[in-house]
Structure 1
């Protein structure tokens, strides 16, 4: 289904709303392909399609939510009725409320590449097999490839609310991954490599294979260094793990739940002056780029730490309201859940 069809469904549900209640409908549809090969043969192959709807109702300061994995008209009506019933039994919260248009224009991003739809399943299998062969041939110390995978997703979604939100879009994504085994002198190490893109033509088999080989072989013969104070240079993937941990503490949700070490630190120097951390889903080069967040608001570039100083937390409409702030366009969710808060494309700005 295309975004326009999904938006029509969302608007239909919202149109069933009653006086005195806010209604939000999120509709999604996706098709996924996953291929795994092992020793030159297909180990698994799946092509799956899914669709569903999530409905949120807020009335008298109470919130109810329900979702379903089908878009049949009778189920849509039942899902709205269930969300309405759940609101009756929900705990009251003066900060409950749907997002409202804030005047921020969505970025123009090229996230949907129709070329992906034109690639046959056989061609996708061949890419996984090619990746496995490339890893095996990459170094004589490679003794096996645990797995070589190809996967892709074509997704579309839409959201409509009684507060005036209307948003829809679609995107494509695909990836290659390989896990390798290297052995030398009775020692075995593992490594991985990957490549991501919007369509198979942008995937780099050679790069994914080279990374899988290099990450396995470079650990052969590694020893523990003596204890001393030295400069540490982190692998990009190790750095990404650290950033992920830090990013999880920079949300208004984490602050409100007492799970952030940065609570009450706004304006403080929390890092070296060379550190600038941004969450920018408007960046077209980000694999997780998006033009709208989980509440239908336009995404935007949020600088969380600038020159080492903590400048802001990420918010959805609820955490922004509770914190006396506003949404930063950082709501994250699928149709089967209510909005949370999270980083969408976190990165460390290069220093001098």
Structure 2
């Protein structure tokens, strides 16, 4: 990492043309990626990425530049080139760095880089065998073991100096079932802000059996009906619906420029009284957690909605300036190649008092969405469209036959109002979230819940 005197010179150069704030983000990242198909190792990649991003602010105007050449001459040149986008008087700035004491809330017991290669392959072969034996219809398997370590230094013209190390580990299991001309996949991808101890602690047989079960079940499924129906959404990664349809609309990236349906609604009842939604970047070793965000602020627990009332937004430094509100430790970026912006960490709906069994029993005819897939959302309107990876019909208060091809369509702000039952079985699922500051690890969570009415896309007449 860079010496303080060099960092001070870079920041001073960045402020030469009138900027009122300058920041550097130094990243040293190593990646490891092992991939096995059909029990055979097909991919063994490793790499290192090292670089620096320089950001300059003047009011809400932002300039960003990055480079992988960390020589002092190049860094000063890059800072001055970025500063050239501003027109103003040079600020005489003396910076006295105050080192932030970063508490490590996410201990790593074994760095993936220190684990024996043979042990990693043993784990992957075990997973392959469990996938293969999960069901007679399974014909293809895929296992991936991914890990990366990211060392960061964040320093700014206000005197902040913060350093942190983040270690991520994830196991990806995929099974493909074949029934005649029909093919269907099932996947599990648990991950954590932790080391190899996370993978060692997984019940790999159970994870693999679940992936195989999904594939084998859905390959024989008929097509979903279409229409407006009640939908019971399972816990865990079912929370991706809230994450996409509502969470992005609560980020300052959208709210701060009035491009969100939730802008200007603080204190208003925007959801069912049963809904309390939280984004928490402090959960120990959770996939979306951090000790500090990518602007050097300690992460925190942010209540977004409480009993249906909008309580807060997710705010980064630029959003704070636009909205005249305090930042929330939500500034995130994929790497030094991206300027930070407001992003989610671990976003979830809190527990309620109902049970899954009550929700099913109180639904005469509807859809049980056991697992959601990808989707899209327009934050300005909260219109969304989501695929359901694993779904079943509910008939006469009981889960019936599996169905495929179902999509959920609606407006997030309307869907929040129609949540009429919330369970007590909160769980989280792991995913990667893409936005203007790149792709980031996030947790999406919720208990099982029921939406009284949603538009389901399927086949007419089914």
TM normalised by structure 2 equals: 0.66
Matches within 5 A, 1:178-193: 178-184=173-179, 186-193=181-188
Report deviation, 1:70: 3.2
Measure, in 1, the Cα distance between the counterparts of 2:351 and 2:269: 19
SS of the residue aligned with 2:197? helix
How many residues are aligned here? 334
Instruction: Verify the 8 A CA contact 2:110 2:196 in the aligned structure 1.
Output: no
Instruction: Verify the 8 A CA contact 1:54 1:336 in the aligned structure 2.
Output: yes
The one-character-per-residue Cα deviations of 1:212-260 (angstroms, maximum 9, x if unpaired) are 1122122133234666744523363333244233110101221233431
Measure, in 2, the Cα distance between the counterparts of 1:51 and 1:249: 32
Instruction: Verify the 8 A CA contact 2:111 2:167 in the aligned structure 1.
Output: no
Indicate which of 145, 152, 168 corresponds to 2:147.
152
Instruction: Give the number of the structure whose residues are more often strand, by fraction.
Output: 2
Measure, in 1, the Cα distance between the counterparts of 2:60 and 2:135: 63
Instruction: Verify the 8 A CA contact 2:106 2:285 in the aligned structure 1.
Output: no
Which residue in the other structure is 2:197 paired with?
201
Measure, in 2, the Cα distance between the counterparts of 1:196 and 1:6: 31
Unaligned runs of 5+ in 2: 89-96, 354-462
1:14 is the counterpart of 2:11: yes
Which range is displaced more, 266-275 or 150-159? 266-275
Instruction: Verify the 8 A CA contact 2:138 2:212 in the aligned structure 1.
Output: yes
Measure, in 1, the Cα distance between the counterparts of 2:302 and 2:105: 17
Report deviation, 1:135: 0.5
Which residue in the other structure is 1:290 paired with?
290
Which residue in the other structure is 1:142 paired with?
138
Which residue in the other structure is 2:167 paired with?
172
Instruction: Verify the 8 A CA contact 2:154 2:163 in the aligned structure 1.
Output: yes
Measure, in 2, the Cα distance between the counterparts of 1:300 and 1:244: 21
1:341 is the counterpart of 2:336: no
Measure, in 2, the Cα distance between the counterparts of 1:332 and 1:224: 40
Instruction: Give the number of the structure whose residues are more often helix, by fraction.
Output: 1
Unaligned runs of 5+ in 1: 90-100
Matches within 5 A, 1:1-352: 5=1, 8=4, 10=7, 13-14=10-11, 21=19, 22-58=21-57, 63-88=62-87, 108-145=104-141, 147-184=142-179, 186-197=181-192, 198-203=194-199, 204=202, 205-224=204-223, 229-234=229-234, 236-333=236-333, 334-352=335-353
Instruction: Verify the 8 A CA contact 1:314 1:328 in the aligned structure 2.
Output: yes
Q: Give the CA RMSD over aligned residues.
A: 2.8
Measure, in 1, the Cα distance between the counterparts of 2:133 and 2:158: 58
